[in-house]
């Protein structure tokens, strides 16, 4: 048996290891595995900005000087229109503006074909119901002018032209007419002066006599309304009849044939007897100094002889 007192005592337990020092929270990393991210590399220095390049030259500046002529292709009207454009950019802008205008116009739509819808459309767009319903502010038309304008107003109505636009057209029409009248009046004055100059040169001292002969013959032979119309008539070239020297010369000759005594004895009731009496009186003066010195008497005698011969010829013809 063993002696309890000789049993060795158990070894003392080793001392506890000191608790580890808390290193604090682990650094945050973007990775779940715990591997720390590498430090970011420093940003490189910014490169200096390049110098600004010169602005490019406009494409139209390289076009030839005769670009308008080339585009017109020999068309004079197109060339004249292109000459109104300062540069190609303006031409292009005008093109697109025109296209936009056309598109807007097409989108509005024209008048409908249905009669009832057309009546409503005309009312909405300022077109009267009938051609004679057109009214023009500040413009008074005579009955004759209304008759002359009737075909035009019918055309306006068929074309669905609004009253306002129709008024502008009619106003322009009358302005053109007035200009024509003014030009014609001015030309009549010029023609009348020139005709008088020529006839005074051709007729000499008989100028006033022949004028009176022409007027007297026309008043006697023509009805009153025809006389007025004839005095205001015009030739095909627009010259007034009474301003044409050739017509005046012919009328004077006709007047002397129609009434050969008018220039000599305009107020005589019996021109045949009066002519013969005056002829006898003048023949008695022949051979005297007064006769040879007085050219007026000699001319009068010749006129009487011519007038008697014309009267005799007419009586023989009848």
Radius of gyration of the chain (CA): 57
Q: Cα angle at 229 between 228 and 235, to 5 degrees? A: 130
Where are the strands (E) in the chain, listed by range?
Answer: none
Q: Confirm whether pTM is higher than 0.85.
A: no
Tens digits of residue pLDDT in 76-95: 888 888 888 888 878 788 87
Tens digits of residue pLDDT in 253-301: 888 877 766 655 555 455 566 667 777 877 888 888 878 888 877 887 8
Instruction: Give how far the C-alpha of residue 296 lies from the chain's centroid of Cα atoms, to the nearest Å.
Output: 61
Quote the pLDDT of residue 42: 61
Instruction: Write the CB contacts of 233 (distance below 8 Å, at least 6 apart in sequence).
Output: 240, 241
Instruction: Write the CB contacts of 186 (distance below 8 Å, at least 6 apart in sequence).
Output: none
Q: What does the alpha-carbon distance between residue 27 and residue 32 come to, in Å, rounded to a whole number? A: 12
Label residue 1 by pLDDT band (50, 70, 90).
very low
Quote the pLDDT of residue 57: 55
For the packed helices 207-221 and 163-203, what is the interaxial angle rounded to 10 degrees?
130
Q: What integer is the mean pLDDT of 85-114?
A: 71
Give me 312's structure tokens. 């005799």
B/e letters for 211-235, b = 16+ CB within 10 Å, e = fewer, are: bebbebbbeeeeeeeeeeeeeeeee
Quote the pLDDT of residue 231: 92
| Cβ contact 232:238 at 8 Å | no
Give the burial class of 98: count Cβ atoms within 10 A of its Cβ; 0-12 exposed, 13-18 middle, 19 or more buried: exposed
Label residue 37 by pLDDT band (50, 70, 90).
low
**pLDDT for 193 beyond 90:** yes
**pLDDT for 39 beyond 80:** no
158 by DSSP, 3-state: which? Answer: helix
Quote the pLDDT of residue 318: 62
B/e letters for 278-295, b = 16+ CB within 10 Å, e = fewer, are: bbeebeeeeeeeeeeeee
Instruction: Write the CB contacts of 203 (distance below 8 Å, at least 6 apart in sequence).
Output: 210, 252
**pLDDT for 100 beyond 80:** no
**pLDDT for 163 beyond 60:** yes
**pLDDT for 104 beyond 70:** no
């Amino acid at each position: 048996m063993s002696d309890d007192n000789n049993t060795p005592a158990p070894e003392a337990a080793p001392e506890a290891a000191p608790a580890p020092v808390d290193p604090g929270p682990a650094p945050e990393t973007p990775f779940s595995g715990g591997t720390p991210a590498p430090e970011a590399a420093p940003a490189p220095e910014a490169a200096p900005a390049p110098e600004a390049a010169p602005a490019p030259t406009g494409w139209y500046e390289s076009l030839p000087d005769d670009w308008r002529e080339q585009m017109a292709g020999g068309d004079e009207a197109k060339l004249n229109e292109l000459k109104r454009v300062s540069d190609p950019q303006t031409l292009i802008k005008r093109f697109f503006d025109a296209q936009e205008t056309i598109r807007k116009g097409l989108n509005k739509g024209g008048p409908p074909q249905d009669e009832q819808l057309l009546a409503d459309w005309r009312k909405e767009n300022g077109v009267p119901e009938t051609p004679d319903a057109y009214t023009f502010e500040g413009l008074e038309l005579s009955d004759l002018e209304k008759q002359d304008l009737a075909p035009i107003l019918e055309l306006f109505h068929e074309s669905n032209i609004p009253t306002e636009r129709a008024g502008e057209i009619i106003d322009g029409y009358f302005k053109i007419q007035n200009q024509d009248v003014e030009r014609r009046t001015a030309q009549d004055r010029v023609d009348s002066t020139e005709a008088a100059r020529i006839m005074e040169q051709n007729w000499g001292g008989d100028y006033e006599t022949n004028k009176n002969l022409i007027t007297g013959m026309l008043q006697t032979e023509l009805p009153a309304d025809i006389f007025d119309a004839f005095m205001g008539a015009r030739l095909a070239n627009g010259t007034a009849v009474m301003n044409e020297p050739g017509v005046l010369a012919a009328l004077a000759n006709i007047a002397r044939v129609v009434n050969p005594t008018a220039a000599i004895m305009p107020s005589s009731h019996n021109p045949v007897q009066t002519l013969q009496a005056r002829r006898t009186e003048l023949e008695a003066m022949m051979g005297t100094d007064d006769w040879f010195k007085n050219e007026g008497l000699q001319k009068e005698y010749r006129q009487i002889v011519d007038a008697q011969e014309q009267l005799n010829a007419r009586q023989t013809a009848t």
